[in-house]
Amino acid sequence: MATSSSSLSHAKRGRAVAVAAASSAAALLSFFLLVVVLVPQHALNSPISLSSDLSVPPSPPLPPPQAAALMRVAAEKPVSEAEAPGGRDLSMPPSPSPSPWPPSETPVAAVLAQEPAAAPPPESRERRCDLYQGRWERDEEGQYPLYHPGSCPYVDEAFSCQENGRRDLGYLRWRWKPHGCDLPRFNGTDFLERIRGKRLIFIGDSMNRNQFESMLCLLREALPDKSKMYETRGYKITKGRGYFIFKFVDYNCTVEFVRSHFLVREGTRVNGQGNSNQVLMIDRIDKSANRWRRADILVFNTGHWWTHGKTARGKNYYQEGDVVYPKLDAIEAYRKAMNTWGTWIDNNVDPAKSLIFYRGYSAAHFRGGDWDSGGTCNGETDPIKTGAFLESYPSKMKIVDEVINRLHVPVVLLNVTKLTNYRKDGHPSIYGKKLAEGEKVSKRRQDCSHWCVPGIPDSWNELIYASLVLKQHHPQSLR
C-alpha cells in the first residue's frame, strides 16, 4: 500500500508512471470486484465517469461560525445568493436524460469475503461486479425507506412529497440490486465513523442539493441525540442559498453543499455597445473552488443546466481566454468545461488524502413536454420495466467518462444514469410545493427532474457508502 501510494504521488509526473502503478496495484487487487471500478480505472483505461456543475455565483462573505445555540434559530435570510447571475429559476433543471438504479442491502464486506483470496486470475477484472448494472427489487424486508417521510427537517419543501400531499408509498419500497453482487446495508453510524474529523462536500446544482439533503437525513437517522448536528450558521436549507455546512458534533466532521451549476466560472462582460451580458468561462474553474480545495470527500455533478436557454444556444456566451465565441455548441462547451474541471482536480487534489466522486446524469421523465413546456410525470407509481429509455446514455456522460479516464487522480463515477432511468415514479411531479389551506394541487408545472426525499438519492448515497467500505478493505484501490 505504501508502495502503491507513493507511486501514485509521482503519477502526476507522467501517465506512464501512473499506468505502471495502477497496473501493479491491479495485479494485487484486481480480483476484488469494485477495486477496478473505484480507482485504477482510468489508468487502466477502464471507464469511469463523473459529472458536476462547477459554476457558482459569487458568494457572500461567510459569517463567523456561530454557537450551536444559533442553529435552532434557522435564520432565514432572503436569498442572498441569486440562483444565477441571470436570476434564472433553478427549481427545475432542464433536460431529461435516462438512468436509474438503487443499491441493495448486502454488506460489501460480506460480498468481498466471498471472493477468492488467492492470486487473481488475469481475466478476473472482466468478472468484477458493476454496481450500476442491475435492477430495482421490491424490498421485502421492510428496510426502506431508510427514514420516514416527514421525519427529517433537512428536506426542503420542493422534495417533501408526502408532506405536500403525495399519498402513494410504493415508490419508497425498492432497493437497487446490482446483477453480480449486493450493496452493503447502509449503516449511518459506520459512515460517520469513517468520516470522523473529515469534510464531505457536495458541489453542483440542485440535483446535488437533492442528494445532500438525503445524506443529511441518512446520517441524522444514526444519531441518538438529533441535536448533535446543526448548520453552523443556523441557515435553513432553501434553494436560494448556495452554501451550507452541517456539523456532526460527536464525530467532528462536516457535510457541506456548495452550489455550482457549471463547475466553471460564470461572469459578465461588457460588449462594444456598452451592454453587459453573461458569459461562461469554460477555461476557468468556478470561484467556489476555494471552498472545495481542502475537503476530504468531494461529490461533483453538472449537467442539467447545460440545456437551459442561453447555455444551449451558445451565442456570445462561452468565453475562453479573452475570446467570447459568437457561437459554440453546448456539448463542445461542456467538453471544454469538464476538461477544465479535470485539470483542476489533477492539480489540486492529493489522491492520498482525498476521495473524488462524480455523480453521473440523473434521468428526468417528462411526458408530453419538457421541464419548461408543460411536461408531466404525475400519477406514476411504478418504475419503468422495459423499453429503449432504460438503455439511453447521454452524450454528456460519454464526455465525463473520457475526462475521468485521462486524469491521474482517481475519480469514482457514481454512474446513476441507468438506475435513475427506471424511476419515473420517484419525482415530486405535482407534489413539489406545500399547499395552502384549501388549495388544490396544480398540475401545471411539474418537477420530473428532482426526486422525492426519502427516495432515489438515498441510493446514490448508499453507493458512496459502498465505495467507502471498499476503500476501507482495500485502501490501495483508491490510490
Ligand X SMILES: *[C@@H]1O[C@H](CO)[C@@H](O)[C@H](O)[C@H]1NC(C)=O
Give the HSE-up count for residue 196: Cα atoms under 13 Å, Cβ half-sphere. Answer: 6
Note whether 397 and 404 are within 8 A (CB).
Answer: no
The SS3 call for residue 33 is: helix
DSSP at 153 = T
Per DSSP, helices labelled H in 10-82 are: 15-29, 33-38
Residue whose CB is less far from ligand X, 248 or 431: 248
Q: What crossing angle do the helices spanning 206-220 and 456-473 adopt, rounded to 10°? A: 70
CB closer to ligand X, 334 vs 393: 393
Considering the candidates 4, 104, 160, 206, report the single residue annotated as catalytic.
206
Question: To the nearest whole angstrom, how small is the minimum distance from the Cβ of residue 226 to ligand X?
Answer: 18
Out of 447, 449, 474, 477, which one is annotated catalytic? 447
Site for ligand X in 251-290 (CB under 6 A): 252
- Least separation in angstroms between CB 141 and ligand X: 13
Q: Is 169 exposed, middle or buried (0-12, 13-18, 19+ CB in 10 A)?
A: exposed
Per-residue contact flags (x/-) with ligand X for residues 161 to 190, judged by CB under 6 A: --------------------------x-xx
Encoded one letter per residue, x for contact with ligand X by CB under 6 A and - for no contact, window 219-258 reads ---------------------------------x------
Strand boundaries in 29-124, DSSP class E: none
Compare residues 208 and 417 and give the one whose CB is closer to ligand X: 417
Minimum separation from the CB atom of position 179 to ligand X (A): 12
399-438 footprint of ligand X as x/- string (CB under 6 A): --x-----------x-x-xx--------------------
Asked whether 74 and 154 are in contact (CB, 8 A), the reply is no
Q: Which stretch binds ligand X (CB under 6 A): 45-53, 79-87, 118-126, 335-343?
A: 45-53
- For the bound state, the minimum distance from the C-beta of residue 288 to ligand X, rounded and expressed in Å, comes to 20
**Which residue's CB comes closest to ligand X?**
47
**Nearest to residue 424, comparing CAs of 369, 462, 376, 359?**
376
473 is catalytic: no
Count of residues in contact with ligand X, rule CB under 6 A: 17
Cell numbers for 451: 426526486
Contact status, residue 133 vs residue 99, Cβ threshold 8 Å? no
* Binds ligand X by CB under 6 A, chosen from 393, 422, 451, 465: 393
Nearest to ligand X of 45, 252 (CB atom): 252
User: What's the Cα-to-Cα distance from 204 to each of 169, 212, 243, 293, rounded to whole Å?
Assistant: 29, 10, 11, 14
Whole-number minimum distance, CB 52 to ligand X, in Å?
A: 15
Q: Which of 197, 224, 272, 438 binds ligand X (CB under 6 A)?
A: 197
Residue nearer to ligand X on the CB measure, 186 or 317: 186
- Interface with ligand X in residues 309-368 (CB under 6 A): none
* Sequence-distant (≥ 6) Cβ neighbours of residue 69 within 8 angstroms: none
Q: What angle do CA 76, 81, 83 make, to 5 degrees?
A: 110
Residue 456 near residue 450, CB atoms below 8 Å: no
Whose Cβ is closer to ligand X: residue 82's or residue 113's? 113
* Residue whose CB is less far from ligand X, 107 or 240: 107
CB–CB of 5/479 below 8 Å? yes
Q: Which of 223, 204, 206 is nearest to 159 (CA)?
A: 206
Judged by beta carbon, residue 192 or residue 279, the one nearer ligand X is 192
253: phi then psi, degrees, rounded to nearest 5 = -130, 165
Cβ-Cβ contacts under 8 Å for 351 (sequence gap 6 or more):
8, 9, 408, 409, 410, 478, 479
Among the residue ranges 47-55, 270-278, 297-305, 363-371, the one whose residues contact ligand X (CB under 6 A): 47-55
User: Catalytic annotation on 296?
Assistant: no
Torsions phi, psi of 177, nearest 5? -125, 100
φ, ψ at 320 (rounded to 5°): -135, 125
Q: CB of 12: closest distance to ligand X in angstroms?
A: 22
Residue type, 5: S
Instruction: In angstroms, give the least distance from the CB of 415 to ligand X.
Output: 4
42 is catalytic: no
For residue 415, give the C-alpha cell: 454512474
- Selected from 47, 86, 180, 475, the binder of ligand X by CB under 6 A is 47
Cell of 359: 455523480
Of 44-52, 58-66, 156-164, 459-467, the window that binds ligand X (rule: CB under 6 A) is: 44-52
Cα–Cα dist 83/87, whole Å: 6
Helices (H) and strands (E) in the chain, counts: 12, 13
Shortest distance, CB of residue 357 to ligand X, whole angstroms? 13
Query: Annotated catalytic residue: which of 365, 427, 450, 474?
Result: 450
Nearer to ligand X, 133 or 271 (CB): 133
Distance CA 436, CA 158 (A): 14
Q: What residues between 109 and 148 interact with ligand X by CB under 6 A?
A: 132
Q: Is 59 in the site for ligand X (CB under 6 A)?
A: no
Binding mask 70-109 for ligand X (x = CB under 6 A): -----------------------------x----------
Active site residues: 206, 447, 450
Return residues touching ligand X (CB under 6 A). Answer: 47-49, 99, 132, 187, 189-190, 193, 197, 252, 393, 401, 413, 415, 417-418
